[in-house]
Structure 1
Amino acid sequence: MTTTTNKLVYITGASSGIGQALALHYYRAGWRLALVARRANELHAWAREQGMSVDRYAVYGADVRDIAEITAAGRTCIANQGLPEVVIANAGISIGMDSAQFEDLEVMRALYETNNLGLAATFQPFIGAMNARRSGTLVGIASVAGIRGLPGHAGYCSSKAAVISYCESLRGECRPNGVQVVTILPGYIATPLTSKNRYGMPFLMQPQDFAARAFAAIEAGTSYRTIPWQMGVVAKLMRLLPNWLFDKVLAGRPRKRRQGE
C-alpha cells in the first residue's frame, strides 16, 4: 500500500472483469475512485466487501450506450469529486456475429454503440477541462482483436480496430494541450467476457496481473501497449501474414459464440 494521494481516476465498466481489477489496483495505490457501471448497486456492494473507505470512492450508475446518461455521469463526477487525472474508458462487450443473419445486425449496432460511441461519450465531458488544465490522461481499452479481423468476430474486431484508430486521432488532437492518450490492448484476460470462448486462449492472464501492468503503462504515459507483450508479438506476426496464409491458418477455427448461444 502506498500513501494515499488526492489523485482521482474515473473508470467505466467497473463492476466486473478488467474494470473491477483496475479499480482495486488504483485504490490500493492510494488513488480516489470514480466508478461507473450500469449495475450501481452491485458496485456499491463490491466496494464495501473490499473494505473501501467511503470518502475515497463514488459510484455513478450509467449505461455508456446512453449518451445523455454517460456524459451526465462525467459532469457529475467533475462537480462532486473534481477533474480526474486519469479517465479509463473500459466498458465494452464482446459477442460473436454472423453477417448472414438479419438479427445479428442489431448485435453489431450494440457493439459499436458500446465499444465506440460509448468510449467517445465517456471522454467527452473531460477533454475540454483537461485541455484547459493542460494535464490529464485518457485511456482507451482496445484489444489485440482489433489488429486483424477474425472469422465470427466481425463486429467485435472492427469495433476494437476503431478504438485503436480513434485513440490515435485523439492523441494528436490533445498532445498540444499536454493531455496524454493511452491505448491499451489486452490479450486474453480471465474475465466473464472470455469465460465462454470455445477456442484456445494463449497467454491467458489473470485480471489483477493485467491491472498491474496497465497501471504501470498508464503512469509511464505509454501511448500504445499490448498486455501481455507476448500477444502483441503474435498479433504483429498475424498482421504480417499474406491474406492467403492468414485465411489458411484460421480455417476451421471455432467462432465466437453468437448472442443466445
Structure 2
Amino acid sequence: MSAAKAPLVFITGASSGIGQALAARYYAAGYRLALSARRTAEIEAWASAHALDPDRFRIYGADVAQVDSIVSAGRACIEQQGVPDVVIANAGVSIGMDSEQFEDLDVMAQTFAINNLGLAATFHPFVGPMRTRGSGRLVGIGSVAAIRGLPGHGAYCASKAGVVSYCESLRGELRASGVKVVTLCPGYVDTPLTQGNRYGMPFLLQPAEFAERAYRAIDAGSSYRVIPWQMGVVAKLLRVLPNAVFDWGVQGRGRKKRRGEQ
C-alpha cells in the first residue's frame, strides 16, 4: 500500500510513554502517523532514531491544555494528511494533590484542563468529518484510577472518571453514525508518569505490551477495555467493596507526589 493510501492515526502525547509506544505499533501496522505533543523535538529524535519514512508521518506541535492549540493541530492534520481513521487522545498528567493546600487547587485545574477539556478538544475537529464519512475511531485513554477515588489522587481519579463518563456520552451520541468511541483504561504501565510512584504497581506492563493490547482493542472497536485484564478484575472487586472496607484498605497507602516533590 502506498503511503498516501495507508490508514492514518492521530495521537496526542506522542513524545514519550504510551503515546510513543502506540505510534510505534501503528507504524508497524502500516499506518501513517500524525503525532502531536508540546515537545516536538523528542518526537523528531525518536522518528530519526527509528528511521521512520518521512512520507508516513507528520508532527504537530500543540498543548492540549490550550483549546485553540490542539484544535488547530487537528485541523492542520486534516488539511495536510486527511481525516484520520483513528484518533487517540492520550495526552495526560498525573499529579498528587492535597485539598488543604491552596496551591493544589491549581493542580486540579491543570489536570482537568489536560485530561478532560484537552481530550474533548482533541476529538472536536474530527467528529464532524468522521460522521460525514461514516467511519472512524475516537479513543479516550482513561485509567483504572477512574473506578474509585484514592487518597492523594483526587485530581487524577476525578479526571479519569470524567474521561470514562465523557466517552460513554460521546459513544451514545455517535452510535448511529458509524463512528466508534473506544475507552481504554490502563492499569500500571512503566512510563515517566508512573516511575515516581511510591506504592506497589501490580501487573505492571511495559509500554510496548500495552500498545499491542490497545491496538487489538481499538481494531476490534471495543467500547471499553481495561488493560491488563487482571486490573479489570481488581477494579470490579474494588467497586463492589463496601465503603468502610475500601476506606480501611487504602488507609496508609502511599500517595502520589505533589507538584514540586522529589
Q: Fold match, TM over 0.5?
A: yes
The Cα of 1:3 is off from its aligned counterpart by 9.3
Q: Quick one: distance in 1 between partners of 2:238 and 2:137?
A: 30
Kept in 2, the 8 Å contact 1:63–1:69? The answer is: yes
The Cα of 1:241 is off from its aligned counterpart by 0.2
Q: Quick one: distance in 2 between partners of 1:260 and 1:194?
A: 16
Structure 1 counterpart of 2:110, which letter? A
Q: Quick one: distance in 2 between partners of 1:256 and 1:66?
A: 25
Structure 1 counterpart of 2:181, which letter? V
Corresponding residue number in structure 2 for 1:36? 36
Q: Quick one: distance in 2 between partners of 1:20 and 1:82?
A: 21
Where structure 1 has 5 or more consecutive residues not aligned to the other structure, the ranges are: none
TM-score, length basis structure 2: 0.98
Corresponding residue number in structure 2 for 1:220? 220
Deviations 1:8-34 (A, max 9, x none): 000000000000000000001110000
The alignment partner of 2:247 has SS state of: helix
The Cα of 1:148 is off from its aligned counterpart by 0.6
Corresponding residue number in structure 1 for 2:77? 77
Q: Quick one: distance in 1 between partners of 2:244 and 2:19?
A: 37
Q: Does 1:171 align with 2:165?
A: no
Q: Does 1:199 align with 2:199?
A: yes
Corresponding residue number in structure 1 for 2:64? 64
The alignment partner of 1:19 has SS state of: helix
The alignment partner of 2:10 has SS state of: strand
Structure 1 residues 219-258: aligned runs within 5 Å: 219-258=219-258
Deviations 1:44-91 (A, max 9, x none): 111111110000000000000111110000000000000000000000
Q: Quick one: distance in 2 between partners of 1:249 and 1:8?
A: 44
Q: Quick one: distance in 2 between partners of 1:3 and 1:60?
A: 22
Structure 1 residues 115-154: aligned runs within 5 Å: 115-154=115-154
Deviations 1:96-153 (A, max 9, x none): 0000000000000010000000000000000001001110000000000001100000
Structure 1 counterpart of 2:170, which letter? L
Structure 1 counterpart of 2:41, which letter? N
Q: Quick one: distance in 2 between partners of 1:54 and 1:41?
A: 15
Q: Quick one: distance in 2 between partners of 1:157 and 1:125?
A: 27
The alignment partner of 2:176 has SS state of: helix
Corresponding residue number in structure 2 for 1:186? 186
Q: Quick one: distance in 2 between partners of 1:108 and 1:50?
A: 36
The Cα of 1:176 is off from its aligned counterpart by 1.1
Q: Quick one: distance in 2 between partners of 1:235 and 1:32?
A: 35
Q: Quick one: distance in 2 between partners of 1:139 and 1:172?
A: 14
The alignment partner of 1:77 has SS state of: helix
TM-score, length basis structure 1: 0.98
Corresponding residue number in structure 2 for 1:16? 16
The alignment partner of 1:75 has SS state of: helix
The Cα of 1:229 is off from its aligned counterpart by 0.3
CA spacing shift, 1:3–1:237, aligned 2, 3 Å: farther
Question: Percent identity between the aligned chains?
Answer: 65
The Cα of 1:175 is off from its aligned counterpart by 1.2
RMSD over aligned CA atoms reads: 1.1
CA spacing shift, 1:195–1:3, aligned 2, 3 Å: farther
Q: Quick one: distance in 2 between partners of 1:137 and 1:146?
A: 22
The alignment partner of 1:70 has SS state of: helix
Structure 2 counterpart of 1:255, which letter? R
Kept in 2, the 8 Å contact 1:144–1:226? The answer is: yes
What number of residue pairs does the alignment pair up?
A: 260
